[in-house]
Structure 1
């Protein structure tokens, strides 16, 4: 009986890794065209949460975002407030590298983030040393990779689902709803 439980627990990461994820080749669900530089230019608010691989919500947040597109680079100032009252700021600098491709950097990001627009969606991939609150009130840094997917729902609403991995193993998902103000 105990061996069966151990075997079942060992299968959970394997099964989580087999779940379906979006692809740029998926059929579009709308005729909308996401242009990052247009959507993120200005003020936005984002509401989101992190869920572990078991589906348990572990953290929620609200982010105030100020975006600035100057014709060559998009800068995003993201001010996060978490449910426990802690705060964090991340500043992204993105550059359009082709008709539908982007690169970006932010403090904590390892190397360069890369992304591609296709129709109403955007895929953004990067590795980051993410601050994670510790039990003693301090913050540890955990290196994770993000596979971010964004879909333009309306002219002023965007949905983001980010798949997180650590050491190549799924650890959770972040769901975020962005709204232009």
Structure 2
């Protein structure tokens, strides 16, 4: 019994340390092109994405049209989703630039406040989303990374988890429409 407890404690400690060992947004500070969320997410963008389960299988494909506006440090990102199964969805982010590359955000299906930081070409965003599945709603955590590729394209990779267990991943590309 004691051996099992020690083994469980060891596995838990290793998992906790592995979580701390991941990339930090600061390590991208010198990467170019330089990302400014208020500039990139301003105007209309199209996004194309997939949700993969923990085995890597594509579960759902989707497209998004985003209409984004900023008034100083306050932004609205109005997202309209179209899924491969014919369903649609909507999320409106109300964002705030808090200075020094720090952002906060709220949306109706987000629990509390999202927090993010941009450095260099990267933005890391963490939040808890209310995810409807088969008539039930689950609170799942998102560790959301965005990387600016050029003035029009940004790649986004988000890991979804619950109780620290990886459920799947969302991968998408944003493309700014030409003015």
2:175 to 156, 160, 179: 179
Instruction: Find the aligned partners of 1:122 and 1:27 in 2 and give their Cα distance.
Output: 9
Matched, 1:101 2:102: yes
Instruction: Find the aligned partners of 1:45 and 1:162 in 2 and give their Cα distance.
Output: 17
3-state SS of the aligned residue for 2:52? strand
TM-score (norm 2): 0.84
Matched, 1:161 2:154: no
Instruction: Find the aligned partners of 1:21 and 1:86 in 2 and give their Cα distance.
Output: 35
TM-score (norm 1): 0.83
* Structure 1 match to 2:137: 141
Report the Cα offset of residue 98 of structure 1. Answer: 1.5
Q: Is the 8 A contact 1:22 1:149 kept in 2?
A: no
Instruction: Find the aligned partners of 1:47 and 1:25 in 2 and give their Cα distance.
Output: 27
Q: Is the 8 A contact 1:73 1:95 kept in 2?
A: yes
Whichever structure has more helix as a proportion of its residues is: 2
Report the Cα offset of residue 131 of structure 1. Answer: 2.3
- Number of corresponding residues: 163
Q: Is the 8 A contact 1:128 1:144 kept in 2?
A: yes
